[in-house]
Structure 1
Protein backbone atom coordinates (compact mmCIF):
# COMPACT_ATOMS: atom_id res chain seq x y z
CA UNK A 1 0.00 0.00 0.00
CA UNK A 2 1.37 3.39 -1.08
CA UNK A 3 2.07 6.02 1.59
CA UNK A 4 -0.37 8.97 1.16
CA UNK A 5 2.01 11.51 2.77
CA UNK A 6 4.58 11.18 0.02
CA UNK A 7 4.07 12.73 -3.41
CA UNK A 8 3.60 10.47 -6.29
CA UNK A 9 6.65 9.73 -8.33
CA UNK A 10 6.81 11.61 -11.63
CA UNK A 11 4.70 14.65 -10.58
CA UNK A 12 6.27 18.11 -9.85
CA UNK A 13 6.48 19.41 -6.35
CA UNK A 14 3.34 21.50 -5.79
CA UNK A 15 5.28 24.44 -4.21
CA UNK A 16 8.49 26.15 -5.33
CA UNK A 17 11.62 25.67 -3.30
CA UNK A 18 12.13 28.35 -0.69
CA UNK A 19 14.52 31.27 -1.47
CA UNK A 20 14.39 30.40 -5.16
CA UNK A 21 13.27 33.18 -7.53
CA UNK A 22 10.21 32.49 -9.54
CA UNK A 23 10.74 32.72 -13.27
CA UNK A 24 8.39 32.84 -16.15
CA UNK A 25 8.17 30.26 -18.85
CA UNK A 26 10.69 32.10 -21.05
CA UNK A 27 13.41 32.07 -18.32
CA UNK A 28 13.14 35.79 -17.29
CA UNK A 29 11.70 37.18 -14.07
CA UNK A 30 8.00 37.95 -14.27
CA UNK A 31 6.97 41.58 -14.54
CA UNK A 32 6.41 43.51 -11.32
CA UNK A 33 2.68 43.89 -10.85
CA UNK A 34 2.66 44.98 -7.21
CA UNK A 35 3.93 48.52 -7.85
CA UNK A 36 6.98 48.03 -5.63
CA UNK A 37 10.64 48.05 -6.56
CA UNK A 38 11.63 45.81 -9.38
CA UNK A 39 13.80 42.83 -8.46
CA UNK A 40 16.48 44.09 -10.88
CA UNK A 41 17.00 47.89 -11.10
CA UNK A 42 16.83 49.43 -14.54
CA UNK A 43 20.10 50.89 -15.81
CA UNK A 44 20.06 53.61 -18.40
CA UNK A 45 22.99 53.19 -20.78
CA UNK A 46 21.97 56.06 -23.06
CA UNK A 47 24.81 58.63 -23.03
CA UNK A 48 22.47 61.46 -24.03
CA UNK A 49 20.54 61.09 -20.77
CA UNK A 50 23.70 61.21 -18.55
CA UNK A 51 24.19 64.38 -16.43
CA UNK A 52 26.23 66.98 -18.36
CA UNK A 53 29.04 69.04 -16.68
CA UNK A 54 28.42 72.70 -15.88
CA UNK A 55 29.93 74.93 -18.63
CA UNK A 56 30.60 77.72 -16.11
CA UNK A 57 32.56 75.38 -13.86
CA UNK A 58 34.62 74.18 -16.84
CA UNK A 59 35.38 77.79 -17.85
CA UNK A 60 36.44 78.77 -14.33
CA UNK A 61 38.64 75.70 -14.07
CA UNK A 62 40.38 76.52 -17.34
CA UNK A 63 40.86 80.16 -16.37
CA UNK A 64 42.37 79.10 -13.06
CA UNK A 65 44.81 76.76 -14.81
CA UNK A 66 45.81 79.52 -17.26
CA UNK A 67 46.28 82.02 -14.41
CA UNK A 68 48.45 79.61 -12.41
CA UNK A 69 50.55 78.83 -15.48
CA UNK A 70 51.00 82.58 -16.09
CA UNK A 71 52.16 83.13 -12.50
CA UNK A 72 54.58 80.22 -12.75
CA UNK A 73 56.10 81.52 -15.99
CA UNK A 74 56.31 85.08 -14.62
CA UNK A 75 57.99 83.88 -11.44
CA UNK A 76 60.48 81.84 -13.45
CA UNK A 77 61.31 84.85 -15.64
CA UNK A 78 61.82 87.11 -12.60
CA UNK A 79 63.96 84.48 -10.90
CA UNK A 80 66.21 84.17 -13.94
CA UNK A 81 66.34 87.96 -14.30
CA UNK A 82 67.36 88.62 -10.69
CA UNK A 83 69.79 85.70 -10.86
CA UNK A 84 71.55 87.36 -13.80
CA UNK A 85 71.25 91.03 -12.80
CA UNK A 86 71.35 90.65 -8.99
CA UNK A 87 70.47 94.22 -7.86
CA UNK A 88 72.52 95.34 -4.87
CA UNK A 89 71.99 98.16 -2.40
CA UNK A 90 74.36 101.14 -2.66
CA UNK A 91 77.49 101.31 -0.54
CA UNK A 92 77.61 104.48 1.56
CA UNK A 93 80.63 105.92 3.37
CA UNK A 94 80.79 108.87 5.74
CA UNK A 95 83.93 110.76 4.75
CA UNK A 96 83.69 113.54 7.32
CA UNK A 97 81.47 115.07 9.98
CA UNK A 98 82.32 118.33 11.78
CA UNK A 99 80.46 120.67 14.12
CA UNK A 100 80.81 124.35 14.97
CA UNK A 101 79.11 126.65 17.48
CA UNK A 102 78.09 123.61 19.48
CA UNK A 103 76.41 124.19 22.82
CA UNK A 104 74.26 122.00 25.07
CA UNK A 105 72.90 123.68 28.20
CA UNK A 106 69.65 124.79 29.83
CA UNK A 107 67.71 122.03 28.04
CA UNK A 108 68.74 123.44 24.66
CA UNK A 109 71.11 122.29 21.93
CA UNK A 110 72.68 124.47 19.25
CA UNK A 111 75.24 123.80 16.55
CA UNK A 112 76.06 123.56 12.84
CA UNK A 113 77.11 120.21 11.40
CA UNK A 114 78.74 119.71 8.02
CA UNK A 115 79.12 116.25 6.53
CA UNK A 116 80.38 114.58 3.38
CA UNK A 117 78.93 111.27 2.22
CA UNK A 118 80.16 109.06 -0.60
CA UNK A 119 77.68 106.88 -2.51
CA UNK A 120 78.95 103.94 -4.57
CA UNK A 121 76.85 101.89 -6.96
CA UNK A 122 78.05 98.26 -6.75
CA UNK A 123 75.86 97.13 -9.68
CA UNK A 124 77.60 96.51 -12.97
CA UNK A 125 74.33 96.25 -14.96
CA UNK A 126 71.96 98.67 -13.20
CA UNK A 127 71.97 102.43 -12.70
CA UNK A 128 70.45 104.13 -9.66
CA UNK A 129 68.29 107.20 -9.14
CA UNK A 130 68.04 108.72 -5.65
CA UNK A 131 64.88 110.69 -4.98
CA UNK A 132 63.98 112.63 -1.82
CA UNK A 133 67.16 111.95 0.19
CA UNK A 134 66.32 112.94 3.77
CA UNK A 135 69.21 113.25 6.25
CA UNK A 136 68.74 113.32 10.00
CA UNK A 137 71.10 113.90 12.92
CA UNK A 138 70.39 111.98 16.12
CA UNK A 139 71.77 111.68 19.60
CA UNK A 140 70.65 108.67 21.69
CA UNK A 141 67.84 108.11 19.15
CA UNK A 142 66.63 111.68 19.71
CA UNK A 143 66.29 113.72 16.53
CA UNK A 144 68.25 116.99 16.58
CA UNK A 145 68.06 118.26 13.00
CA UNK A 146 66.98 117.25 9.49
CA UNK A 147 67.82 118.35 5.96
CA UNK A 148 66.96 117.23 2.44
CA UNK A 149 69.55 116.58 -0.27
CA UNK A 150 69.07 117.17 -3.97
CA UNK A 151 68.03 114.10 -6.02
CA UNK A 152 70.77 112.65 -8.21
CA UNK A 153 71.56 109.84 -10.66
CA UNK A 154 74.30 107.29 -10.39
CA UNK A 155 75.60 105.19 -13.26
CA UNK A 156 76.90 101.64 -13.20
CA UNK A 157 79.82 101.18 -10.83
CA UNK A 158 79.78 104.95 -10.32
CA UNK A 159 80.83 106.89 -7.21
CA UNK A 160 79.51 110.25 -6.06
CA UNK A 161 80.36 112.57 -3.16
CA UNK A 162 77.52 114.60 -1.60
CA UNK A 163 77.93 117.41 0.92
CA UNK A 164 75.28 118.53 3.38
CA UNK A 165 74.66 120.83 6.33
CA UNK A 166 72.56 120.35 9.45
CA UNK A 167 71.72 123.21 11.79
CA UNK A 168 70.24 123.35 15.28
CA UNK A 169 69.40 126.68 16.85
CA UNK A 170 68.34 126.46 20.47
CA UNK A 171 66.23 123.33 20.05
CA UNK A 172 64.57 122.26 23.29
CA UNK A 173 65.54 118.76 24.49
CA UNK A 174 65.08 116.74 27.63
CA UNK A 175 67.36 117.55 30.54
CA UNK A 176 68.67 113.98 30.62
CA UNK A 177 69.88 114.42 27.04
CA UNK A 178 71.82 117.57 27.94
CA UNK A 179 73.33 115.84 30.99
CA UNK A 180 74.40 112.87 28.85
CA UNK A 181 76.09 115.16 26.29
CA UNK A 182 77.87 117.03 29.05
CA UNK A 183 79.12 113.80 30.65
CA UNK A 184 80.50 112.55 27.32
CA UNK A 185 82.31 115.80 26.68
CA UNK A 186 83.89 115.79 30.12
CA UNK A 187 84.86 112.08 30.06
CA UNK A 188 85.86 111.56 26.40
CA UNK A 189 86.18 115.09 25.01
CA UNK A 190 83.88 113.91 22.23
CA UNK A 191 80.20 113.27 21.51
CA UNK A 192 78.81 110.33 19.49
CA UNK A 193 76.15 111.28 16.95
CA UNK A 194 74.09 109.18 14.53
CA UNK A 195 73.62 110.24 10.91
CA UNK A 196 70.78 108.56 9.05
CA UNK A 197 69.56 108.91 5.47
CA UNK A 198 66.22 107.86 4.02
CA UNK A 199 65.78 107.74 0.26
CA UNK A 200 63.60 106.29 -2.47
CA UNK A 201 66.01 104.55 -4.88
CA UNK A 202 65.00 103.40 -8.36
CA UNK A 203 66.99 100.53 -9.90
CA UNK A 204 67.09 100.81 -13.70
CA UNK A 205 68.07 98.16 -16.21
CA UNK A 206 66.92 99.03 -19.73
CA UNK A 207 63.14 99.31 -19.60
CA UNK A 208 63.05 97.58 -16.22
CA UNK A 209 62.34 99.77 -13.19
CA UNK A 210 62.27 98.72 -9.58
CA UNK A 211 61.73 101.21 -6.78
CA UNK A 212 62.46 100.59 -3.13
CA UNK A 213 63.14 102.57 0.01
CA UNK A 214 66.68 102.49 1.36
CA UNK A 215 67.73 103.51 4.86
CA UNK A 216 71.38 104.28 5.60
CA UNK A 217 72.70 104.15 9.18
CA UNK A 218 75.95 105.88 10.18
CA UNK A 219 75.82 105.25 13.91
CA UNK A 220 78.15 106.07 16.79
CA UNK A 221 80.18 108.71 14.94
CA UNK A 222 82.50 110.26 17.53
CA UNK A 223 83.03 114.00 17.03
CA UNK A 224 85.73 115.57 19.15
CA UNK A 225 84.12 118.45 21.01
CA UNK A 226 85.93 119.29 24.27
CA UNK A 227 84.17 121.31 26.93
CA UNK A 228 86.45 124.27 26.31
CA UNK A 229 85.55 124.46 22.60
CA UNK A 230 82.39 124.48 20.54
CA UNK A 231 83.99 123.06 17.41
CA UNK A 232 85.28 119.64 16.46
CA UNK A 233 85.43 117.01 13.76
CA UNK A 234 85.04 113.29 13.30
CA UNK A 235 87.97 111.27 14.52
CA UNK A 236 89.52 108.36 12.62
CA UNK A 237 89.23 107.46 8.97
CA UNK A 238 86.28 107.05 6.65
CA UNK A 239 83.36 105.25 8.28
CA UNK A 240 81.31 102.73 6.33
CA UNK A 241 77.56 103.00 6.89
CA UNK A 242 74.95 100.26 6.82
CA UNK A 243 72.30 100.18 4.08
CA UNK A 244 68.98 98.41 4.53
Structure 2
Protein backbone atom coordinates (compact mmCIF):
# COMPACT_ATOMS: atom_id res chain seq x y z
CA UNK A 1 0.00 0.00 0.00
CA UNK A 2 2.83 2.42 0.79
CA UNK A 3 4.64 1.79 -2.52
CA UNK A 4 1.43 2.29 -4.46
CA UNK A 5 0.75 5.67 -2.76
CA UNK A 6 4.28 6.80 -3.53
CA UNK A 7 3.91 5.83 -7.19
CA UNK A 8 0.61 7.73 -7.54
CA UNK A 9 2.12 10.76 -5.81
CA UNK A 10 5.13 10.66 -8.15
CA UNK A 11 2.91 10.46 -11.23
CA UNK A 12 0.76 13.38 -9.99
CA UNK A 13 3.83 15.51 -9.22
CA UNK A 14 5.31 14.75 -12.65
CA UNK A 15 2.04 15.66 -14.38
CA UNK A 16 1.67 18.93 -12.43
CA UNK A 17 5.31 19.83 -13.16
CA UNK A 18 4.84 19.20 -16.89
CA UNK A 19 1.67 21.33 -16.97
CA UNK A 20 3.41 24.19 -15.13
CA UNK A 21 6.44 24.00 -17.46
CA UNK A 22 4.13 24.10 -20.48
CA UNK A 23 2.37 27.21 -19.10
CA UNK A 24 5.68 28.96 -18.33
CA UNK A 25 7.13 28.19 -21.78
CA UNK A 26 3.90 29.33 -23.46
CA UNK A 27 4.04 32.66 -21.63
CA UNK A 28 7.72 33.15 -22.51
CA UNK A 29 7.03 32.27 -26.16
CA UNK A 30 4.14 34.75 -26.31
CA UNK A 31 6.28 37.52 -24.77
CA UNK A 32 9.05 36.96 -27.32
CA UNK A 33 6.84 36.55 -30.41
CA UNK A 34 3.81 38.72 -29.53
CA UNK A 35 3.01 41.09 -32.39
CA UNK A 36 2.65 44.83 -31.91
CA UNK A 37 0.18 46.96 -33.83
CA UNK A 38 1.30 48.52 -37.09
CA UNK A 39 1.26 52.32 -36.87
CA UNK A 40 -0.16 54.55 -39.63
CA UNK A 41 0.38 58.33 -39.69
CA UNK A 42 -0.81 60.75 -42.35
CA UNK A 43 2.17 63.09 -42.67
CA UNK A 44 0.74 65.29 -45.43
CA UNK A 45 -2.60 65.54 -47.21
CA UNK A 46 -3.70 68.24 -49.58
CA UNK A 47 -6.47 69.02 -52.01
CA UNK A 48 -5.69 71.53 -54.75
CA UNK A 49 -7.48 72.77 -57.85
CA UNK A 50 -10.80 72.59 -56.03
CA UNK A 51 -13.06 73.90 -58.80
CA UNK A 52 -16.80 73.53 -59.24
CA UNK A 53 -17.97 74.18 -62.81
CA UNK A 54 -21.34 75.42 -64.01
CA UNK A 55 -22.50 71.89 -64.86
CA UNK A 56 -21.99 70.78 -61.20
CA UNK A 57 -18.75 68.90 -61.87
CA UNK A 58 -16.09 69.14 -59.17
CA UNK A 59 -12.42 68.98 -60.26
CA UNK A 60 -9.64 68.53 -57.71
CA UNK A 61 -6.21 67.02 -57.08
CA UNK A 62 -5.91 64.85 -53.99
CA UNK A 63 -2.41 64.14 -52.65
CA UNK A 64 -1.60 62.08 -49.56
CA UNK A 65 1.60 60.98 -47.81
CA UNK A 66 1.32 58.20 -45.23
CA UNK A 67 4.05 56.81 -42.96
CA UNK A 68 3.66 53.14 -42.02
CA UNK A 69 5.74 51.67 -39.15
CA UNK A 70 6.07 47.91 -38.51
CA UNK A 71 7.54 47.72 -34.96
CA UNK A 72 7.73 43.90 -34.87
CA UNK A 73 11.05 42.05 -34.74
CA UNK A 74 9.94 38.80 -36.39
CA UNK A 75 6.84 39.63 -38.42
CA UNK A 76 6.59 40.77 -42.04
CA UNK A 77 3.37 42.61 -42.99
CA UNK A 78 1.84 42.17 -46.45
CA UNK A 79 -0.29 45.09 -47.71
CA UNK A 80 -2.44 44.02 -50.65
CA UNK A 81 -5.00 46.85 -50.81
CA UNK A 82 -4.53 50.35 -49.38
CA UNK A 83 -7.00 53.18 -49.88
CA UNK A 84 -7.01 56.73 -48.54
CA UNK A 85 -10.42 58.39 -48.45
CA UNK A 86 -11.13 62.10 -47.93
CA UNK A 87 -14.51 63.00 -46.56
CA UNK A 88 -16.35 66.04 -45.29
CA UNK A 89 -19.49 65.87 -43.13
CA UNK A 90 -20.03 62.12 -43.72
CA UNK A 91 -19.62 62.44 -47.51
CA UNK A 92 -16.53 61.01 -49.13
CA UNK A 93 -15.33 62.99 -52.11
CA UNK A 94 -11.82 61.71 -52.76
CA UNK A 95 -10.25 58.27 -52.94
CA UNK A 96 -6.64 57.35 -53.62
CA UNK A 97 -5.44 53.77 -54.05
CA UNK A 98 -1.85 53.32 -52.87
CA UNK A 99 0.61 50.77 -54.27
CA UNK A 100 0.60 47.33 -52.54
CA UNK A 101 3.87 46.27 -50.89
CA UNK A 102 5.51 43.97 -48.34
CA UNK A 103 7.04 45.55 -45.24
CA UNK A 104 9.88 43.88 -43.39
CA UNK A 105 10.37 43.81 -39.65
CA UNK A 106 11.41 46.98 -37.78
CA UNK A 107 10.74 49.07 -40.89
CA UNK A 108 9.23 52.47 -41.67
CA UNK A 109 7.79 53.09 -45.15
CA UNK A 110 6.56 56.36 -46.64
CA UNK A 111 3.70 56.03 -49.14
CA UNK A 112 3.01 58.84 -51.60
CA UNK A 113 0.29 59.21 -54.17
CA UNK A 114 -1.35 61.95 -56.16
CA UNK A 115 -4.39 61.62 -58.34
CA UNK A 116 -6.55 63.94 -60.35
CA UNK A 117 -10.19 63.25 -59.76
CA UNK A 118 -13.52 64.64 -60.83
CA UNK A 119 -16.96 63.96 -59.44
CA UNK A 120 -20.42 65.04 -60.47
CA UNK A 121 -22.23 66.77 -57.63
CA UNK A 122 -25.55 65.30 -56.57
The answer to whether the superposition gives a TM-score over 0.5 is: yes
Answer whether contact 2:93 2:119 (CA < 8 A) is retained: no
Q: Structure 2: where are the runs of 5+ without partners?
A: 1-22
Q: How many residues align?
A: 98
Q: CA separation in 2, counterparts of 1:148 and 1:78?
A: 40
Q: Distance in 1 between matches of 2:49 and 2:99?
A: 25
Consecutive unaligned residues of structure 1, counting only runs of 5 or more, are: 1-75, 174-244
1:145 aligns with 2:94: yes
| CA displacement 1:64-85 (0-9 Å, x = unmatched) | xxxxxxxxxxxx7876644331
Cα-Cα RMSD? 2.5
Show the 5 A alignment for 1:69-80. none
Query: Which of these residues, 69, 75, 83, is aligned with residue 126 of structure 1?
Result: 75
Mapped partners of 1:123, 1:88: distance in 2: 6
TM-score scaled to structure 1, two decimals?
0.35
Aligned mates of 1:79, 1:169 — CA distance in 2: 54
Residue 92 of structure 1 is matched in structure 2 by 40
- Larger proportion of strand: 2
Deviation at 1:108, TM superposition (A): 4.6
Question: Contact between 1:132 and 1:149, CA under 8 Å: does it hold in 2?
Answer: yes
- The offset of 1:124, in angstroms, is 1.8
Relative contact order, CA 8 A, sep 6+: which one is greater? Answer: 2
Q: What displacement does 1:172 show?
A: 1.3
Corresponding position: 1:156 with 2:90: no
Please identify which structure carries the higher helix content. Answer: 2
* Bigger Cα Rg: 1
